[in-house]
Amino acid sequence: MGMGAAFLGLGVTKLLGLSPQYVFFEELGLPRALVPVVGLVELLIGFMCLNRPTQSYGAVGVILLMGAAALSHVMSGSRLYMLFINAYFLAAAIWVVRMARPRFLQVTAASERHT
């Protein structure tokens, strides 16, 4: 639930224009208009993480978003300290997915499918 609340807060700050990510996106050469889009994605992920039935889907969204964020920090060579935060959210999201064992990630053997 903490992860969901964190992403709701991050999304709201981006949508209200209060996030320092505007400067970081410019440093990366990305358009400023992309920040509110990321904010909407973070809001969606936050709501999904707070809702028990969609929690594992939200966790997968966190994994994808934090993977992209970590990649952007590494590629830019700036704000590398943020990798610790990315790693924390990645680890928490992987733990949620592992504990939930969502149906969309389950793999069954071919012999089990035909029985």
pTM, to two decimals: 0.80
Mean pLDDT rounded to a whole number for the chain: 86
* Residue 8, pLDDT above cutoff 70: yes
Domains contained in the chain, number:
1
Helices assigned H by DSSP within the chain: 2-15, 21-28, 34-50, 55-76, 82-100, 110-113
Residue 92 belongs to some domain of the structure: yes
Short-list 76, 70, 68, 106, CA closest to 88: 70
Residue 35 belongs to some domain of the structure: yes
Q: Token pair of 39, please?
A: 């904010």
Residue 87 belongs to some domain of the structure: yes
Query: Are the beta carbons of 45 and 89 closer than 8 angstroms?
Result: no
Residue 42 belongs to some domain of the structure: yes
Give 25-67 pLDDT, tens digit per residue.
888 888 999 999 999 999 999 999 999 889 989 999 999 999 9
